[in-house]
Structure 1
Amino acid sequence: MKKIRLLTLIIPLSLLIVNCSTSKKRKSDYVEVKKISYKTDVEPIIANSCTPCHIPPQGKKEPLENYDHVKANIGAILERVQLPQDSRKFMPPVNKKPALTADQISVLVKWQQQNMTE
């Protein structure tokens, strides 16, 4: 009789433990992806690294003054900021602004991959 009681306690407890550890594994499988937006993430990078050359009225180059312009040119922007710094097409020019960091480039890449939300 004692064995039956013990078994009736052990079986539900073991099921509870198994289910708890499984749910923890499921939660860790989900990775939260931060949604990148133009206003909060991309615009500050452009404003800091592309002024005054690409921001009218002073800028005489391809304008990057708003969402539509940056969205239309994101491919070229990514191409140019990832060139070797000694390339004449590298942006921003070495003598004018510091190069974008790997994190800043990553933000631009993710924004493009996430369909460039405003």
Structure 2
Amino acid sequence: MTKKIQLIALIIPLSILMVNCSSARKGKSEYVEAKKISYTADVKPIIANSCTPCHMPPQGRKEPFENYEQVKAHITAIIARVKLPQDDRKFMPPVNKKPALTNDQVALLVQWQQQNMPQ
């Protein structure tokens, strides 16, 4: 009789544990959804900080990046230029004017492009 009580005492907590573990997984996805990037919240601050004043009229003498449509139209070139080695003369932003974008900032621009550049 003692062995039956011990067995029941062991089975009940294990049963509760198994039910809780399997129900915790229900409804959860197997992947983590990527953060939604937007121009206004995420991209615009990077452009404003790193591309001003050269790409911001009236001071700017380069392609203007002062709004969503302009940045969207040039995102492929922007990403290409910020990924260049810093000693490349086409690297942006110029080392003597602004600090280089961080890896996270570059990744954010790439992700925004991959998400079809929502405003």
- What number of residue pairs does the alignment pair up? 118
Aligned partner of 1:49 in structure 2 is: 50
In the alignment, is residue 94 of structure 1 matched against residue 95 of structure 2? yes
Aligned to 1:73, the other structure's residue is in SS state: helix
| Structure 1 gaps, min length 5 | none
Structure 2: distance between partners of 1:33 and 1:65: 27
% identity of equivalent residues: 63
Where in structure 1 do 4 or more consecutive aligned residues deviate above 3 Å? Answer: 3-16, 23-30
- C-alpha separation in 2, matches of 1:90 and 1:19: 57
TM-score of the two chains, using structure 2 as the length reference:
0.82
For structure 2, which runs of at least 5 residues remain unmatched after alignment? none
CA distance in 2, matches of 1:77, 1:114: 16
Equivalent position of 2:22 in the other structure = 22
For residue 68 of structure 2, what is the aligned residue in structure 1? Answer: 67
Cα distance change on mapping 1:111 and 1:23 into 2, 3 Å: farther
Could you say if the C-alpha distance between residues 110 and 20 of structure 1 is closer, same or farther in structure 2, counting changes exceeding 3 Å?
same
Letter of the structure 2 residue corresponding to residue 110 of structure 1 = Q
Normalised by the size of structure 1, how large is the TM-score? 0.82
Q: 2:41 maps to which residue?
A: 40
